[in-house]
Amino acid sequence: MKALRVHGPKLLKFDEVDEPQIEPDEVLLRVKYAGICGTDLHVYRGAMKDRVKYPAIPGHEFSGVVVKVGSKVTWVSEGEEVVANPVVPCGRCVACLSGRPNVCVNFKILGVDIPGVFAEYVKVKGDKIYKIPKGLSLRDAALVEPFSVAVHSCRKANIEVGDVVVVIGQGPIGLCTTQVAKHYGAYKVITVDVVGSRLELSKKLGADEVINPLETDPVKVVKELTNGVGADKVIETSGAPQVLNQALSMLRPAGRLVVVGLCFEEVKFFSYPIVYKEAEIVGSRVYIDEFARTLNLMSKRYLKPEPLITHEMSLSDGEKAFKILDEKPGEAVKILLRP
């Protein structure tokens, strides 16, 4: 089969590789659509070289069709349209045993630790499979993974009807989060980003107010929009190191900050506002049981993936797609590859 493989930092090749052979508890899927996300860019750039073994097939956001079914898998059949949770926890560590497999200390993920979905075929564990509901296309279903990240973070935020919610960063995860926060009943969703086109898109997807930090002070604007009180919830998706102090400053007393964006730099901030406001700071990592919830929301059109898909390209053009995201980050939101 054909696969897009990373052979080293920023070195991609469209290779011929062996088709995966499934075990009795696995399913072989023909990949129909695969999305490029931030983790894939980290693999491409070499930021995860201590974990990734080259050559590696990246990719974990996708939809596909069942081709082969292992003898122990009885709940799906050949020809069915499905998605799959790409996270494989160990099932034995303290996190897994306490019902938090998303923070498993040993977890593996497609496209990083095991061969990913930028290929014609991929094999996954049968218990990770979800059937795509009627009314939801394979193309749209390919975005269930980033939307599940957003659903999980909004659940961690404990968004209540009438809340003012700030979403910092309007990349793919931030744009998904904006939609989910609005659906969860936020009275006002305020989005923050330095790319004007993404702020415009967030307005179309439900944002009530948008702020560009290059043009104005986001903390000041949030305070003005909340009569000096601050936001009930702030969800940080950008990963920018300077943003956490801003997020704390725009939070109301007893508010909650949810940190989703990955930052690989040391971050310094004052503890005073945390204590003074009795603020809650919560991390949010991937998802637990959100795939089924998210598929239902997407099938009912409460969440809209198609505005996020700015490019659709052949897998053979994968190198071009990665260069767009790496060198021109404001040009694309979500790029789908078709094997």
Over range 5-30, report the average pLDDT.
Answer: 97
9 Cβ contact partners less than 8 Å away, ≥ 6 residues apart: 44, 45, 46, 49
pLDDT band at 268 (very low <50, low <70, confident <90, very high): confident
pLDDT band at 10 (very low <50, low <70, confident <90, very high): very high
Q: Is 271 helix (H, G, I), strand (E, B) or coil?
A: coil
In the prediction, which pLDDT does 265 show? 79
312 Cβ contact partners less than 8 Å away, ≥ 6 residues apart: 139, 335, 336, 338
| Cis peptide bond upstream of 55, omega within 30 | yes
List, in sequence order, every beta strand (DSSP E) within 71-186. 81-84, 87-88, 108-109, 121-125, 129-131, 164-168
pLDDT in tens, 209-228: 999 999 999 999 999 999 99
Tokens of 160: 């209540």
Name the active-site residue from 42, 152, 191, 237: 42
For residue 234, pLDDT over 80 is answered with yes
Mean pLDDT of the chain: 96
Q: Which domains does the chain have, with CATH numbers?
A: 2-143+305-338 (3.90.180.10), 147-283 (3.40.50.720)
CB atoms < 10 A from the CB of 27, how many? Answer: 27
Active site residue 42: yes
In the prediction, which pLDDT does 246 show? 94
pLDDT in tens, 105-129: 999 999 999 999 999 999 999 999 9
pLDDT in tens, 49-75: 889 999 999 999 999 999 999 999 999
For residue 264, pLDDT over 80 is answered with no
For residue 88, pLDDT over 80 is answered with yes
In the prediction, which pLDDT does 257 show? 98
pLDDT band at 281 (very low <50, low <70, confident <90, very high): very high
Instruction: Give pTM, 2 decimals.
Output: 0.96
pLDDT band at 242 (very low <50, low <70, confident <90, very high): confident
- Alpha-carbon distance of 328 to 228, in angstroms, equals 37
In the prediction, which pLDDT does 50 show? 84
In the prediction, which pLDDT does 23 show? 97
List, in sequence order, every beta strand (DSSP E) within the chain. 2-8, 11-16, 26-35, 61-69, 81-84, 87-88, 108-109, 121-125, 129-131, 164-168, 188-192, 209-211, 231-236, 251-259, 280-283, 309-314, 334-338
- Alpha-carbon distance of 250 to 11, in angstroms, equals 41
- Alpha-carbon distance of 265 to 272, in angstroms, equals 22
Name the active-site residue from 7, 39, 152, 177: 39
Active site residue 39: yes
Residue bearing tokens 């040993």: 106
pLDDT in tens, 116-174: 999 999 999 999 999 999 999 999 999 999 999 999 999 999 999 999 999 999 999 99
pLDDT band at 271 (very low <50, low <70, confident <90, very high): confident
Do 136 and 295 form a contact (C-beta atoms < 8 A)? yes
Residue bearing tokens 């004007």: 196
Is residue 127 exposed (0-12), middle (13-18) or buried (19+ Cβ within 10 Å)?
A: middle
